[in-house]
Structure formats: structure tokens, C-alpha cells
Structure 1
Amino acid sequence: MKIVITDVTDMRGGHICVAGWSLDEERMIRPLHGSGHYHWNTNMARDDLLCPGNIITIKPSGQLPVRGNPHAAEDYLIIGEPALSGNLSDVDMVQTATGSVHDSVQSMFGDLFSVEHFVPEDEGFCSLGAIETQSRRMGFDNNYEKL
């Protein structure tokens, strides 16, 4: 399975979370280590492997992760290590993953989501995607110090 890496998040403690667009399934997925710790070591977030725009090849294990939704909706346990199989420019990466782009939070997460709540657990919602906005005034809430 080939994945275009679109997101790499610092999880602290020496680990990162990786997400990307599956070229085979045409949806966002989160490749997780099938043995031991789900997240990847920070040193793997380098230009030659787990970085946005890189295309990696993985082998799905076929096993379901022991996690609830919404995260489990995109989680893929893999066998072995990912291998680099290509690279896309920023523009090509965005064009490739357009299936993950929504015009609003509501269209991405559905009717049960509101500004006062998080995405409910175990409701089958996705946890990955992008919101495209025309607004020139946008702010970010940095409660988790990850920006």
C-alpha cells in the first residue's frame, strides 16, 4: 500500500504520529507500528522518510488496532518498516489528497459535532482531514503547545 505523508505530529517523549493519503484506498490513514508502540520514533521524521510529501510503501498487517473511534477509523497496523517510494511537491501533495478536504468542520464531522464538543467516541466519524477556508482572518488555539 502506498501513502502520501501529509501530516507529522510531535507526540513528545521521542515519538511522532504520522498520517497520510492512501493512494490505494483514496482516504486518510494513520500507519501504526504493528509491534509495540504505535507511534514512530522522532528520528524517523527526516527528509528521506516520514515527512510531508514523501510517498511510503507499507504492508498492512490485516489486524485491527485496539483503539476506539474516531482514531481507529483511520488506524492501520503495519508489518515491518515503511519504505520510501517517491516524493511529491507541496502543490502535488495537496492535489493528490483533495479527497480529504472539506469546506467546513460540519461537513467533515457531521451533525453530532459542535463547537462545544469534541468528535464523539465510537460513532464512526473520521479523525483526519482538512478544512479549506477562504477566510483571511484565522486563529489557532494552542492548548497543547504543538504549533
Structure 2
Amino acid sequence: MEDYFTLVTGSSSGIGKAISVECAKRGMNLLLVALPGEKLEEQAAELKSKYKVKTYYYHIDLTEKDAPKKVYVWTRENGYKINMLINNAGMGTEGPFERQSASYYNTMMQLNMVALVLLTRFFITDLKKLPKAYILNLGSISSYFPMPVINV
């Protein structure tokens, strides 16, 4: 499967960055996707050099209209074959519900739900054609256990 790639969203920091490192340690080629200005170029170069894997990156704000489709088109136009999709990008907030604007909540839902669903939709047909393919959707524990002042 050396010609295949693992695509990781939110790969520039936190859990996404840690997942990218672990995948590289296991010899997996990587496609790193994160916000513009998140130093993906340096991260890709470091992973490529240290672990001898193919590593490419794409800066995009997944809350933007058509961003999931743009990610898919980028992989197709460059001939990147995906055998693992890791939907990690996400955001959260805490505090009184009314503290955040409606626009903020729309952005959060766009990233945490819509982008994840659309990325999965775009890639699933190709993934199902492979003998082994994986989708990993990460989320917050607060999705399962209600907590005071943790909302949406």
C-alpha cells in the first residue's frame, strides 16, 4: 500500500498533529490538511525527512463553502490515492450558551458536522473499492456526556 495516503484534517496541532506523527512512524504516506498559516509546509518536510514517507499538505478553512469538495478535487487532480481518511478538524467552546453569536455556532457546526459528513461522502466511493480502507472520525467526549457550560 506504499502508493496510498492517509489524509488527516486538523493536522497542524494537537491530536491531529500527534496522529500524523504516529502514522508517519508506521510508514504511512500523509496528506496534511489544516488552516492557512498553520506551518504545514514545515511539518510535512519534517515528517518526510524523519520517517521517509511521502507527505503533502493543503491549506484550507474547512468551514468555507465547498471546502470539503476542494480537498477531494485536490487529491484527485494530484493523483493521491487515499486509503484512510481521518476527520479530526474540530472546534468547541465553553461557557454560557448565549455568550457566543449565532454566526459562531454556525461555523462550529459547519466544521464539526458538515465538513466531516461531506468529506466522508466524497471519499467513500473510492475507499469502498479498496480491499482495506478506513475512516476515523474524531470527536469530543462531550458529545457523549453532557457537561455544564459545554454546549453544541
User: Under a length normalisation based on structure 1, what TM-score does the superposition of the two structures give?
Assistant: 0.26
More strand by share: 1
More helix by share: 2
